[in-house]
Structure formats: structure tokens, C-alpha cells
Amino acid sequence: MSEMPTKSDLDYIFKPKSIAVIGATAKEYTIGRAILHNMIINEFRGKIFPVNPNADVIQCLKCYPNVESIPDPIDLAVIMVKKELVAETLEQCGRKNIKGAVVITSGFREIGGKGIEEEERLIEIVDRYGMRMVGPNCFGIINTDPQISINATFSKTRPRQGKVAFISQSGALGEAILDYAYQLKLGFSIFVSIGNKANVSGADMLEYLENDSRTELILLYLENFKNPRRFAEIARRVAHKKPIIAIKAGRTTAGAKAISSHTGVLATPDVGVDAMFRQCGVIRVDTVDELFDYTLAFVSQPLPKSNRVAIITNAGGPGIMATDAAVGAGLEVAPLTAESTAYLRANLPDMAAVGNPIDVIASGGPNAYGAALNAVFRDPNIDSIICIFVPPIVVDHRAVINAIAETVDRFNNCKTFLACFMNMPEIIAGHEELANRHIPIYTFPEAAARALAGLVKCAQYRNRSDGAIRTFEVDRKAAAEVVKTAAAEGRKAIMGGNAIAILRAYGINVAPTATAKTLAELVKISPQIGYPQAVKLDDPEVIHKTDVGGVVLDIGSLAEAKKAFGRLEAAFTRNGSFAGVVIQKMIRGGIETIIGMNCDPSFGPLLMFGLGGISVEVMKDVAFMMHPLTDRDAAEMIRQIKGYPLLSGFRGAAPVDHAILEETLLRLSQLVGDFPEFESLDINPFIAGAQAENSLAIDARIILK
Amino acid sequence: MSEMPTKSDLDYIFKPKSIAVIGATAKEYTIGRAILHNMIINEFRGKIFPVNPNADVIQCLKCYPNVESIPDPIDLAVIMVKKELVAETLEQCGRKNIKGAVVITSGFREIGGKGIEEEERLIEIVDRYGMRMVGPNCFGIINTDPQISINATFSKTRPRQGKVAFISQSGALGEAILDYAYQLKLGFSIFVSIGNKANVSGADMLEYLENDSRTELILLYLENFKNPRRFAEIARRVAHKKPIIAIKAGRTTAGAKAISSHTGVLATPDVGVDAMFRQCGVIRVDTVDELFDYTLAFVSQPLPKSNRVAIITNAGGPGIMATDAAVGAGLEVAPLTAESTAYLRANLPDMAAVGNPIDVIASGGPNAYGAALNAVFRDPNIDSIICIFVPPIVVDHRAVINAIAETVDRFNNCKTFLACFMNMPEIIAGHEELANRHIPIYTFPEAAARALAGLVKCAQYRNRSDGAIRTFEVDRKAAAEVVKTAAAEGRKAIMGGNAIAILRAYGINVAPTATAKTLAELVKISPQIGYPQAVKLDDPEVIHKTDVGGVVLDIGSLAEAKKAFGRLEAAFTRNGSFAGVVIQKMIRGGIETIIGMNCDPSFGPLLMFGLGGISVEVMKDVAFMMHPLTDRDAAEMIRQIKGYPLLSGFRGAAPVDHAILEETLLRLSQLVGDFPEFESLDINPFIAGAQAENSLAIDARIILK
């Protein structure tokens, strides 16, 4: 790959002044014809030069036999020639000093084998000439900026102008999205089908859109990440300025690599995606429907100040459904103030319900809706409103909708407002009143609640600090020595005394532990460690020590310790040599946790926290975060697991010391950052105690790459 | 309430020959005008008589001042007079010998207070005259049977004929549903807004629809149950014949009653609904969207023979999304046979993917789709098909859709088939071909996968047996004696030796236990029980024995047992009297479970099974079922918890004896059926061992109502 080019390079693609359409044809039902046609009917503001050796003129435009024969300078080449010709075409573009390319042609990396080599060739050419390229295997690009107005796609839908940017890794989905958005009257700023991402990646696009003044919301459809760590870095920054909503397909794709640690077993490929999105403030949705439900609200409404929502309805059932959906999505259907309740009691029909949800009942007309909205817009307990209207026959729709529109106007977007019309919105007289005011209208309350929850999530991310990465003073050299020795001896696993030495070097609390090679050493050390103690074989060749009788627990005296040593020495001496034992104080009380790391092939180190025992093994109740952890990440991980109540003072027990757990995670983060050769690491168990001094690592295992 | 009338009584409502519309008016924007208008334009096949003292004629029909002045016999009265007049109107109907009524008027039970009394009065009148009544507070009824053609609703949408019955507790939602269904070209057999269910309930409607030959699928929207046990009984029977899909609103409504047992804490109000639906084969959905996604598939497609689905696509992204959604919904994207793969390789374009999903790629036209469908329709590994088509510009939509339609026709519904067109289906040339063949078309693959999973669930329910209720020989009298004594002494809780005696009377395995009032008794019994043993205070006045030092564990000898007795006697003798101790063998090994019952105010006894300790208390990993349990229910409960792997032989351990766990649940089911005075019961812990004889209840507590 070439060096990272500056952002503005992408202007050649998205803000070109002249375009060569290479492979344009006059035949109907060809991509070349469709793209040329789209550029013309969308009135691209610059010059278009079709290139095709077999035509003189296409759609009234003079056609050139090749790009180099065009007399004018060209910013962007849109290429749809057959795949055997793409490389040569790019060479010509390079020679002509064209800096932007969109390659529609497919048949490269996505078909594997030879296609991968051919794509590498394209990359080489593009890098050599310092070009930027979208694709290959893509659906094209759109910029609706009226100064540009480029639609270099073969979409049948003419995009509306708007403030939403869409980045799609799937061309087919892109077309569906354009179409769906059109029906919803939703406009785009920029649309890009990034295809195989050979040169321009999702992260590049995020970076470009960060500074695109017309883009206020970024939607993503991704199937994989080229460089997730770079993506994360950029997304984290951009998400603080512009909301990012993403569909990541491929949740259930199973990983194929052999698994050799607890953390590894739990680190499914999707865990990294979830962790990254959460850490970066990217809002993840599962379906296209959900994506658009969110988008309607994001493009029009202010972010709510809290999760407290008021629901207004004229029908009981839909009110209940909205409440269910709101609570299920983490919103609070908050009690109104006494003032609001009194005001509602005075201004709504007798049979109305004046709690939250507010039910103005079927006969509630414009006045009732006006009063209900007045109350909740003023109520300090409320920061967002879902207003349901099921048009009954006896009420004038238009009057109700006008009342809603006027009240919402009067309060001037000071709270987040979503409407739900439980009939096809289009058939409700007056619905344009709301649509023109950019109020999102949903057909069912669940969709409104879901979208509102998305806004709340985004607001929470904006308000939170990313936290800081802490750096501790550690003895990196000591740890490196242990790793070096293991590597030199060809050992893949670092266990027992060695693993504990590494933890100690990084300042992680470890249960009193020492090693003894000889009985004499044991006699000296055992009383210093104290009783009860465990004596464990410390032989790196023996992996499952418990299974072979290599661990003796509950040793209460030096005499017992000596006996244990004798037994282990007798059993595990090979070729006259005995590896020695680890002597460790046994810890009573506290809660077993597991703290680990697994190196994901694309996400790099993922750090894990969970409760020990069945919580991890059966319930899979663990939290993952991407390396490096900030202090906020560490604090969140601990609170994120379902079993967290056990740590926070369950049934009157003292809560465990949170600070030491967080610090341990942060020290581990520093450790795995320093040693990229670690494939995985388990501290299992780490005993979480009520005080830092009782919070101790008992055992650890490191697997090297 | 009157005795349960026979089903055919509802024919007066749904198949009337003559109707009085009481409260009809000529004024626009009134419910009375709308209903009369709907009846006329839907061409009701019988006679209509408007009733209104202030009019002579309404919409060309002679108007009568009251129902009794109508000369003809009347089957059904549709009543929309103001609420003060409803009771008197029903009296008049009764005197006129009208057997069916639909009361639209609202202002009864739903407003509480006086409204409840007024509704009771309506019920009394209806019962007295042997009438059946839908409502009050409802939106009306529809029967599209061309022999009847009644639309007694004030809906603005004219319903299509079809085979779907819809029962809605919410009028407002009913209107939205009619409208939405119309847009989807979905027809109804019967529609009923059951309102306050004062006389005709959801269960009554299920029973009526069971024998309605035009109804093949039943949709329900419910907010609560009048008599859930009757509903369950009927639903269980009907669901074996006709699929039932339900939205139950009110998931998050918190219960208000005081909670005094483990099981009680976990038995949220929604737990009963979920348990009942699962036991009865009712498919629960959360949203109206989902309801319709399912319905489109249910009305047109055969139930699949298994969960193995093939996905066909011409675009990678949507194929991945479909796979994600399918796997997430419990479907298996199964490998194709070698024959299929070879056939596909020979008949699809070179770059096509011939696994599952099958990707015919963007250039794949009618032949490619035909070949892919041929392969999967013939493949014995496949029982259902999701066929995605993203119309690319270079392919003739109509030809592809014709190829799909013809191939599906040729295989004549032998497998379940769902289409997904990732653009608005309506704008795709040729889509009517599929719609006319009743092939469900979805816009996004997730919806198709979800609907298919619904069909699979339904097929599984149809194929499974309900299981049998087993009755064991028990000593009911002995148990009754213990309960009687507790009640006589005014005790709400039965614990310790008493609770264990009740379990024993019902043949539930209990750890060796005996009671001793005196030291002499202890000396005799303690060695019989064996060591280690526990000695626990057996005083019904002391509830939390552990907290006050009333439990001595790990007693290894008679001497220690005597010492423990002495200490407890000294500490807990009150007024010269000592309640005695329970002596119990301590059990080593096995897995702690909790088996319990909590009496739900509407669902009756709910039985619970879970793992002990944090699984129950923090993870809430428990399974509930409605009483009485069948043997299949008991077997399912055990397998339903997330921690089940711990019971089935985790990490090489011997699996616990499943039969004894199931039997214990069934014996408990029999016990709580015999003693309706039990509010709740916890067997906590019940140790699940590898053999029946090691599977033992350790402690129990029964709370009386």
C-alpha cells in the first residue's frame, strides 16, 4: 500500500470538474449507458467525455477512442470496461495525470484466486501514479451538492439532496437503499459504494465526510474491515461530531482458527465488532428498516438531554405498545410533575388518563392534543415526546395535526419529538404539515421508540469522555526476559511461576507465590508464604497439571509441604532432572473473576473481563473491549457484565474493590500492548476482594503466537 | 357470569340475517353514520333496520324509533347510543328476543370506578336474556363471507376477503391493522374488536374460529386475559389445527404484589404469558410489522419439514444479511448435497458461489435462477428457500421473475418458498407474477428469515405431542395434616421438618432427615442419619435460622451432634419450651438446583426450574411453565435454561439424572394442584445427582395464601 494520501485527494472523485466515462455505450441495458444517462439527467456541473473506441457519439456527446485522446484535463475516470482491460485503462489514466477513479467492473478480489492477483495489480498502478480509486466491483458514487451534482451510479433512482452520507460495501444493497430512501423522501449528501475497498476504504470515507460540510449523519453498511484499528481511531473522533449508524453484516460467520484459551473461545469474530462500535460511539443496527427508522429521527430532531420520554396517545393499545417498546429500549417513561398532572386534569376530557402515557382518549381533538403537548413540552421531567395519533372517524384529522404542528413549532425543537400515525401516514389528511416541518412520522410505536433510543444512545456518547489511557511504571525488561527465555526454548505457553513473574513485573497484584527447585529451597520459602498453601508442579512441559496430580492444595504445615514436594519430585523427575514447584498462599473469600486477552486476527488484542466458573463457561457472561483500554473502558467493562451485582455488594456483602479491578485491566492493556507476540493471556482466577490487598491473581497462562 | 353458552350462539353476531343499527344517524363524522354506511357499501346480505327516535329515514332506509317497533325478528343489534342509554337499549333488545349484540359505546370498565359497575349491569342484562355481546368499547366486527358480508365497524378501509381472522382487544389498533392489511393485499375471514370483553372473550373467539371453515390462520392482539387457564386450554387445542400468532402488549408492566419467595421474585407478570404461549403453541411476536411478515408467509406457504433453508441471491451483501438473520432466528443454512453442488457448478456462471447461500452473481439471469431453484427444490438437505433478487440494470427483471414463478409452480408448493426483492416490490416489473401465485415477497432479507422461522416454530409445535399429565400415588392425607396444623396455628410459612414431610408425602426424594425434640431422641437418631450431618433449629417462629446461629453444619460425630443440640436448646428455649431440631445428612457433590412454584393472580400456579446460586439470583436463568405440567413440559423446562450444559455432562462430568428431575417437577405439579392454598413453594436447593438416589431435596419452604 502507498502512504496514506491526504483527504483532499478524494475531492478528485467527489468534486470533479471533468469526467471520462470509460466503457460508456449507447446500447440500452448496459451499465455504461445507465451511468452516462444518470450523469446527464442529474446535470453534472462539469464536462463529460465518453470513451469507447467503437463509437463516435453517445447521447449527443463526442466519444473518444481512449482517455489519452481527450484534449482537456480530466479529474475523474469512471471505468466500466471488461475486467481484462481495467489495468491497462488505469495505466492510461495515470499517464493522462487523472487523479480519481471509480472502477465499476467486477471480477477481482471477490472471486478469489486469480482475481486477488489482478486486484493487487490495480493497487500497484494506482499507487504508482498517486491516484485514489473507489472499487473495483462497485456501484458508483453520488454527490448531490448542487455545485457538483454527480451521479456516477447505474441506479434507477434519482437521489434527493440531503444531509445523510451513505457508505455501502454492497452495491446491491446500495441500490435498494437509494430506492427506499427516495420513497421516504430522505435526501443524501454523498453516496459511495466502496466495493472491494482496494484503495478507498470505509475509514478513508469517514475521514473525508468528517469535513464535508453538507454531511450531518453518516450511515454505513460494512461486511468486513480492512484495518479496524485505523477505522476505530477515525470513527471515535468523527462520532463526536456526526452520528455514525452502521449495519455490520456477517454476525454469525464462525471463526476458523484453533482456540487455545478461555478468552479465545469467547472471542467470536463479532465480539470485536461490537466492542469497537461501542468504544467508538458507532450505533449498530441489525436491519435496514431499523437504519431508516433511526435516520428519520436523526436528520430532523435534536438529541435528547436524557432518556425520559412522555408518550401521548388517543388509544390505549398503542400507548401500551409504545410504553413496552420504550422501556424495552432503555427509555424511561417518566412520571410527570404535579403541575403537569393538574394542568392536564383541567384541560383534557374527563375520561382521559393524565399519567404517562397520557391518553387523551378517542374523542380528544385539537384542543386535547394541544394541551397534552403544552404540558410535556414544559415539564422539566421530560426530554422527549412520542405523540401517537390514531385518527378516529369522529375527529377532524387535519385540525389535530395542525394543532400538533403548531405546538411543536411554538416550542421550537427544544425537545425531541417523534410522531406515530397508526395508519399509513400518507392517507392521513394533513400529514404533510408535519412532514414539511421535518417531523419524523412512524406507522407503529415500536419504530418510534427504537429510533428515540438511538438518539439517546448517541447523546450519551457525545456527553461522555473517552477517558484516558494510563501508563504505569512497570519492569518491562523483567517481563521481556521471561518471554525471551520461553521463546528461546521453543515454548508456546508461559505458565505457573513464569506467567506470574510477568504479571508481577507489570505491577499486577499476585497471591504470595514463590518457586522452589529443591527441597532445601522449599523449607526456606514455605513458612514465608504462609499456610494454607498450594504446592504445584512448575514444569512448562506439563500443561494440565491438575489432571496428572501435579497440584497439592490445602497444605497446612511445613511438614505437609515437604511431603508434597517429595511426592511431586518422585513423580515428575525426568532424566534425573526436576523442574521444581510453585508455592502459593491459598486465598479464602473474594469473588472469582477472569481477566484475559485474545488477539483477534483483524482487531488486534481484545481485552476481556468476566466472573469465573460457570458465568464464563456456560453463561458466556463476559465483556470485551478493543486494545488499548482507556480508564473509562475499564470501568465500563466491569459494569457491563450481567453478573455485576455480585461485585457491587450482593445481599449485603461488601462490594469488591472496583479501582483495583480497573487498574488490573489497564495494566494488562499496557502489558499486551508491549508484547505483540502474545496470542492470548488468561488471568484465571483473579480473586476480587473487598480491598485492593485481597484482590489477587492466582494463576495465569500466556500463549505466544 | 352465566353458564358458558354454546359456540353457535356467536353465529347471531357473525352470521346475522337481520340487524338493528341502534344509534344510527345521518350526520357525517359520526360513528353511527359510518357503521351504517359500511354495512350498505359492503352489501350485507340481510336486512338492516336503523333505529333512532329523531329520524324517519337514514340512507334510504326506514328508521324506527326503538328496536321493539321493528316488525321483523332481529338477530343482531349494533349499539352506539350514548353510554347512559346502553343498559336500557340492551333490555329492549332482550325483550325483542335479539340474541346478538355489538356494543360500540365506550365509558365502561376501561374508565374504572362507576364504569365498572355500569359494565356489570350490562353483563347482568345480557346473561338474563341469554344474549351474547361483543364489547362494550369496541370498534365492531366484520365477516367477509360472501353469504354474509357484514362490516359493522366504522373503519375507513374496506376489508378484502381472505382466510385470516383477527381478534383485537384494541379498537384503534384494529383500524390500523385493517388499513395495513389492505395495503399488503391481505384478506380477512373474520375481524372482531372485542373491546372490554364483558361477555365475548378472546378465548370464546378462538373457540368460535376453530370451527369457522373460512379461517385458516388466527391473529390476536391482547392486552390482558380474562381467564388465562381457559384461554390456554382452548388455544392448545386450536393451535394444533390453525396457527395462532399473538401480540401481547404490556410486557413491561410491573407487578404490584408483595413478594415472599425466590420463585415469586422471578415470576414477573410476563413470565406467565410467555409460559402459556409456549405451552399452547401460540407464536408470540412483538410488533405489528412482525405480525404481518409472519402472516404473509403463513397464508401462502406450506409448513417446512425442518429448519434447513437454502438462500439464493444475486448479490453478496443481502446473502450475508439473510444468512445472519436466518441463523439468528434458529434456522440452519444447511450444506447442499454433492449432486446439487455439481449441478450448480455446471449450470451457473463461472464466478457464482455454489455453496449455501448460492450466489448467482449480478449477471445471473433467468437461467441462473432457474438452475439454482431446480437444485434446491430437489436437494433432500433443504426444506425451505429464501430467494433474493436485487434487480441489476443489465438483467431483464420480468424474465427472472417469470423463471422464478415457473420453477416454483413446477415444484408445486412442495417446499416453503419466500421471495425477497430488495427494492420496493411494486416497482419491479413482473412482481405481480409472484403475487398472483401467492408467493410472499419481502423487501429485506431479515423479514423473510424471521417469517420462515415462525413457520418452522409452528411446524415444530404441530409435530410435537403435548405430553401427558402423570399422576403418582401419594399420601395426600399426610400432607394435608401438616398444612392443616400450620393453618390452625395461624402460620403463613411451612418450613424445615414440616415442609420436608410434605415433600416426602408426595414421594419427592429428600436427603435423610429426622427431627428430635429432646437430647435422648437425638442420641438415637443422629447415628442413623449418618455423618457428616447438619443440625438445624426446627422452630416455625424463626424464619432466617442461619442468620441467628440456628444451623450447625459439618457435624462429624454423635459427640458433636450432642454439643450442637445443647447449644441450640440453650439459645432458643423460650418459656421453658424448645421446638427441637432437624437432623439432616449433608450431601456432597451434585449440582444445586431450585425447583419452585409461584401462584400468579391470573395464571394460577407457575412452576419453576433453575440452577441454584447466582444462576437464579443474578442471572435469572430460570424456566417457568403453567400448571399442570405434562411430562413433555417438565422435560422442556430442564432443557430450556441457559445453564443446561451443566446438567448434561459438563467438561466430562457425569450428566445428572434427568428422569428424577422431571419426576420431581411432575410430583410438585401434582402437589400444588392438590393444595390451592399454597401461595408459593421453594425446594432450595434440590441437589441434582448423577443417580436418582443422589438427587435430593435439602430444604423447602411453603408460603400459604
8 Å CB contact of B643 and A351: no
Q: How many helices (H) and strands (E) does chain B have?
A: 23, 31
Q: Which residue of A has its CA nearest to B330?
A: A252
pLDDT of amino acid A613: 72
Task: Please name the residues in contact with B114: beta carbons below 8 A apart, sequence gap of 6 or more.
Answer: none
Check whether B179 has a pLDDT greater than 70: yes
CATH 3.30.470.20 fits B465-511+587-705, yes or no: yes
Task: Report the residue from A173, A351, A396 with minimal CB separation from B107.
Answer: A351
Interface of B with A in 337-396 (CB under 8 A): 351, 362, 390, 392-394, 396
- The reply to whether B302-463 shares the fold of B7-223 is yes
* B134/B197 Cα distance (integer angstroms): 7
Task: Report the residue from A317, A324, A325 with minimal CB separation from B173.
Answer: A317
* A276/A264 Cα distance (integer angstroms): 17
Per cent of chain B over pLDDT 70 is 94
How do the domains of chain B map onto residue ranges? 7-223, 302-463, 465-511+587-705, 512-586
Q: Report the relative pairing of strands A622-626 and A604-611 from DSSP bridges.
A: antiparallel
Task: Pull the grid cell for residue B422.
Answer: 430488495
pLDDT of amino acid B257: 34
ipTM above 0.85, yes or no: no
Q: How confident is the model at residue B315 (pLDDT cuts 50, 70, 90)?
A: confident
Pairs across A and B, CB distance < 8 A:
203
Q: Which of B393, B544, B617 to mutate to test the interface with A (most CBs of A within 10 A)?
A: B393
Q: Report the relative pairing of strands B140-143 and B132-134 from DSSP bridges.
A: unpaired
Cα B45 to Cα A585, B16, B41, B148: the distances in Å are 90, 9, 11, 5
Check whether B212 has a pLDDT greater than 60: yes
pLDDT of amino acid B264: 60
**Helix B228-239 vs helix B202-210: crossing angle, to nearest 10:** 20
Q: What is the pLDDT of residues B468-480, one digit of tens each?
A: 999 999 999 999 9
> What DSSP string describes A482-497?
HHHHHHHTT-SEEEHH
Best CA proximity match to B246, nearest among B270, B266, B267:
B270
CATH class of A591-704: alpha beta
8 Å CB contact of A221 and B317: yes
Best CA proximity match to A427, nearest among B178, B619, B146, B418:
B178
pLDDT of amino acid A668: 97
Q: What is the mean pLDDT of residues B666-692?
A: 95
Distance from CA of A620 to the nearest CA of B (A): 10
* A615 near B CB under 8 A: yes
Q: What is the CATH number of domain B7-223?
A: 3.40.50.720
Which residues pair with residue B418 across a beta bridge? Answer: B386
Distance from CA of A20 to the nearest CA of B (A): 21
Q: Which of A184, A287, A350, A396 to mutate to test the interface with B (most CBs of B within 10 A)?
A: A287
Interface of A with B in 14-33 (CB under 8 A): 29-31
* A669 near B CB under 8 A: no
Task: Report the residue from B286, B390, B393 with minimal CB separation from A154.
Answer: B393
Sort out which chain A residues have CB atoms less than 8 A from B252's CB and list them: 323-324, 327-328
Average pLDDT of chain B, as a whole number: 89
8 Å CB contact of A251 and B328: yes
Cross-sheet strand order for the sheet of A283-285: A150-153, A140-143, A188-193, A161-168, A217-222, A244-248, A283-285
8 Å CB contact of B323 and A642: no
Q: Which of A116, A360, A618 to mutate to test the interface with B (most CBs of B within 10 A)?
A: A618
Residue count (chain B):
705
Decide: B506 and B479 in contact? Cβ < 8 Å: yes
Q: Which residue of B has its CA nearest to A644?
A: B618
Q: What is the pLDDT of residues A8-30, one digit of tens each?
A: 689 999 999 999 999 988 776 78
Q: What is the mean pLDDT of residues B344-372?
A: 90
Best CA proximity match to A250, nearest among B322, B358, B453:
B322
8 Å CB contact of A251 and B316: no
E strands, B438-522, where? 441-442, 493-495, 513-516
Q: Which of B37, B111, B421, B423 to mutate to test the interface with A (most CBs of A within 10 A)?
A: B423
Q: What is the pLDDT of residues B135-169, one digit of tens each?
A: 999 999 999 999 999 999 988 888 999 999 999 98
Decide: B197 and B210 in contact? Cβ < 8 Å: no
Sort out which chain A residues have CB atoms less than 8 A from B106's CB and list them: 362
Check whether B21 has a pLDDT greater than 90: yes
* B429 near A CB under 8 A: no
Please tell me the pTM assigned to this model.
Answer: 0.84
Distance from CA of B249 to the nearest CA of A (A): 6
pLDDT of amino acid B261: 55
- The CATH architecture of the domain made up of A300-463 is 3-Layer(aba) Sandwich (3.40)
8 Å CB contact of B643 and A618: yes
A145-167 burial string, b = 16+ CB within 10 Å, else e? Answer: beebbbbbbbbbbebeebbbbbb
Q: What's the fold here for domain B512-586? A: Dna Ligase; domain 1 (3.30.1490)
* A364/B343 Cα distance (integer angstroms): 64
pLDDT of amino acid A8: 62
Distance from CA of A538 to the nearest CA of B (A): 24
Q: Which residue has the higher pLDDT, B1 or A679?
A: A679
8 Å CB contact of A443 and B614: no
Task: Please name the residues in contact with A397: beta carbons below 8 A apart, sequence gap of 6 or more.
Answer: A389, A391, A428, A429, A430
**Cis before B357? omega within 30:** yes
Cross-sheet strand order for the sheet of A581-585: A513-516, A581-585, A533-537, A551-555
Q: What's the fold here for domain A7-227+237-249+267-295? A: Rossmann fold (3.40.50)
* A250 near B CB under 8 A: yes
Mean pLDDT, each 10-residue run in order, chain A (705 residues): 55 96 83 90 93 91 95 96 95 96 91 89 96 94 96 89 94 83 90 94 96 96 86 93 89 42 62 89 89 94 95 88 89 95 93 90 89 96 94 76 90 92 66 78 90 95 87 96 93 90 96 92 93 89 79 91 93 89 88 92 91 76 92 94 88 89 97 95 93 92 93
pLDDT of amino acid A258: 39
Per cent of chain B over pLDDT 90 is 64
Q: What is the pLDDT of residues B599-642, one digit of tens each?
A: 988 888 999 999 887 767 777 889 999 999 999 999 999 999 98
Distance from CA of A638 to the nearest CA of B (A): 15
Q: What is the CATH number of domain A512-585?
A: 3.30.1490.20
8 Å CB contact of B170 and A287: no
Interface of A with B in 62-101 (CB under 8 A): none
Distance from CA of B172 to the nearest CA of A (A): 6
Decide: B63 and B56 in contact? Cβ < 8 Å: yes
pLDDT of amino acid A673: 95
Q: What is the pLDDT of residues A180-193, one digit of tens each?
A: 888 888 999 999 99
Cα B473 to Cα B476, B506, B508: the distances in Å are 9, 8, 11
Interface of A with B in 214-243 (CB under 8 A): 221, 223
Coil/strand/helix, residue A228:
helix
Torsion, CA A559, CA A561, CA A563, CA A568, rounded to 10: -170
8 Å CB contact of B614 and A317: no
C-alpha B124: how far from its chain's center? Answer: 31
Q: How confident is the model at residue B427 (pLDDT cuts 50, 70, 90)?
A: low
Q: What is the pLDDT of residues B333-343, one digit of tens each?
A: 999 999 999 99
